[in-house]
Structure 1
Amino acid sequence: MSSTLQGKTILITGATAGIGFATAQSLLQKGARLVITGRNQERLNQAVRKLGERVIPVLCDSANVAQIQQMATQLQRDNIKLDGLILNAGVFYPVAFEQMSLDNLNTTMAVNFNGPALTLQALLPCLNNPSSVVFISSVAVLKAFATAGVYSASKAAFEGLARVLNLELAERGIRINSIRPGVTATEIQAKAGMDQDAISGFFESLSSTPVGRVLTPEDLVPAINYLISDASIGLRNAYIDIDGGFGL
């Protein structure tokens, strides 16, 4: 087990599937204790059954400010102090700019920007000194994708906030760094409205990238583990691009 993660208490948002769930599995194997969030109670219960007893589940929709505050109150009441916070919960609703609606804009920003910003703010009293915050951003902040404008903007917005927070929260020992995943096979494609044929075709098109395939959540986990651990103590506002060479 890694000495930099053994005994750490880490909160992961959106940990019932995909990158969040894979990260939870890895951190548990390395001796961490976890708090995980999800917005669906049944799926949250399923995740806990798979992950085991060192997991504290909290029902929390990242778009629901009241639930974020309730989560923070619960952790403070139970005297749970966090060594790490992984801001993973996110949504992707592709739409061309000309057809973009206010609802699409507000929904995306509520989860991808407001959610992590307000979660971090609410959990400040729970974060130890030092502690690590890892934001799951996207390669979309660097590479333009048609119909991904709002998604790209939402991720870039938090990256901009994080730059300032690395200064404002320095006295608290809080550091914020980001992972920028490339196209990764998770539920996000289906939730974006793609059918199975479209998903399969999209993934097949990635065979031309240097890595030769679509990424999996497991491809991202080692970098997340590094940033959330004591090994990254010297990093502030760093970005690790994990895109399989897609941007070359």
Structure 2
Amino acid sequence: MSQKHYLVTGATAGIGLATARSLVSAGHKVTITGRDQARLRSAAAALAEAGSGEVVSLMCDSGDLNQIRAMAQSLQQARVRLDGLVLNAGIFFPQMFSEMTEENFDQTMAVNHKGPFFSLQALLPVLNNPASVVFISSVAVRKAFASAAVYSASKAAFEGATRVLNLELAERGIRINSVRPGVTATEIQSKAGMTDEQIAGLAEAMAVQPLGRILTPADMVPAIDYLLSDASMGLRDAHLDIDGGFAL
């Protein structure tokens, strides 16, 4: 197996960290990004012990276009060539439509739509031909959840863009596909303001779905690994729903 180089955004926890761990364990070189330096160092150290692949960490807030451009410039200066990109960084601040604030709207769109859009644009010079881009979307684009209108729209917006980008970037050998996680136990629940009791209740509620339990980041990794690999070469704008049957 030849070593490849992948970049995973928002890789200090959850699906991003699990994905980076899988890639490092397989012997690949992985660059991870995050917006908290201490958490980034901790994640990089843990990943370095997880496998034989090299780990590089870069500070980058996916909601800050200046940081995105600085991150991409540092990679160009280092003459980095990427074989794949996982656009994972995302936020979720639940709020009913009648109470939605402009701040919530703008911040969610900045990280979940504008962030991956301009991250991909900024990283075009360092992407190999061919290269695979995997967007971590959400089951919320096809199943309605109260208080998730902006979150759903932010994920659906980038999915809509990928249809066009797959055409525009075809000559560069870049393919873009998405994974749509269902309700997954990550830090996103606590960051959204849920209490430990509410999170436990959510996990209990998920026991009624066909899978019989709430999903974990590890459940997403095989699909992401597949989309990054050469085995997915024929896929463009595919959406893999890893939701445990929740949206049936």
TM-score w.r.t. structure 1 length? 0.97
Q: Structure 2 CA distance, aligned partners of 1:200 and 1:186?
A: 12
Q: Structure 2 CA distance, aligned partners of 1:7 and 1:35?
A: 13
Q: Structure 1 CA distance, aligned partners of 2:136 and 2:76?
A: 25
Partner of 2:38: 42
- The number of residue pairs the alignment matches comes to 244
Q: Structure 1 CA distance, aligned partners of 2:229 and 2:64?
A: 29
Q: CA deviation at 1:10?
A: 0.2
User: 5+ unaligned residues in a row in structure 1: which ranges?
Assistant: none
Matched, 1:229 2:225: no
Q: Structure 2 CA distance, aligned partners of 1:129 and 1:220?
A: 25
- Give SS of 1:11's match: strand
Runs (4+) of structure 1 exceeding 6 A deviation are: none
Letter in 1 for 2:20: A
Q: Structure 2 CA distance, aligned partners of 1:45 and 1:15?
A: 11
Partner of 1:27: 23
Partner of 1:109: 109
Partner of 1:63: 63
> Deviations for 1:151-194, whole angstroms, at most 9, x for unmatched residues?
00000000000010000000000000000000000000000000
Letter in 2 for 1:56: V
Q: CA deviation at 1:17?
A: 0.4
Identity of aligned residues (%): 62
Q: Structure 1 CA distance, aligned partners of 2:24 and 2:103?
A: 38
Partner of 1:90: 90
Q: Structure 2 CA distance, aligned partners of 1:10 and 1:98?
A: 41
Q: Structure 2 CA distance, aligned partners of 1:59 and 1:136?
A: 20
Partner of 1:140: 140
Q: CA deviation at 1:31?
A: 1.6
Letter in 1 for 2:85: L
Q: Structure 1 CA distance, aligned partners of 2:242 and 2:69?
A: 32
> Deviations for 1:36-70, whole angstroms, at most 9, x for unmatched residues?
00000000000011011711100000001111000
Q: Structure 2 CA distance, aligned partners of 1:128 and 1:202?
A: 41
Partner of 2:178: 178
Partner of 1:217: 217
Partner of 2:11: 15
Q: Structure 1 CA distance, aligned partners of 2:111 and 2:160?
A: 16
- Give SS of 1:179's match: strand
Q: CA deviation at 1:216?
A: 0.3
Q: Structure 2 CA distance, aligned partners of 1:202 and 1:129?
A: 42
Q: Structure 2 CA distance, aligned partners of 1:95 and 1:200?
A: 20
Letter in 2 for 1:104: N
- Give SS of 1:125's match: helix
Q: Structure 2 CA distance, aligned partners of 1:247 and 1:60?
A: 33
Partner of 1:208: 208
Partner of 1:168: 168
Q: Structure 1 CA distance, aligned partners of 2:189 and 2:154?
A: 17
Partner of 2:100: 100
Matched, 1:123 2:123: yes
Q: Structure 2 CA distance, aligned partners of 1:28 and 1:56?
A: 11
Partner of 1:240: 240
- Give SS of 1:194's match: coil
Partner of 1:158: 158
